[in-house]
Amino acid sequence: SASPLVLHLRGDLGAGKTCFARGMLRALGEEGPIRSPTYGLVAEYETAGGRVIHMDLYRLRDPGELAPLGLADHLQGSLLWLVEWPERGEGG
């Protein structure tokens, strides 16, 4: 299957990254609560449009912390990845 669209959401705290992600998820049909995955780093949604992965890497101390999350396993079948603070995951 095709690779997901990956959107890097960059901006200062309070710039609206989570608000933008919430709007995208609502537009794709997600009806449940949508919170920034600040502590868990990754949230997954099965929307009417397909699977969406929402990541918030703000609290990531080291890009190596991404490896145990098995993100490659989420690639297949994902429609969209929304990544807040992507610069914190570079090199991981």
- Tell me the pLDDT of the chain (92 aa) as tens digits: 578 899 999 999 999 999 999 999 999 999 999 888 877 788 999 998 889 999 999 988 888 888 887 777 777 788 999 999 999 988 65
pLDDT value of position 1: 58
First CA to last CA across the chain, in angstroms?
Answer: 24
pTM: 0.86
Give CA separation, 75 vs 5, 13, 24, 63, 72, in Å.
10, 27, 18, 18, 5
pLDDT value of position 85: 93
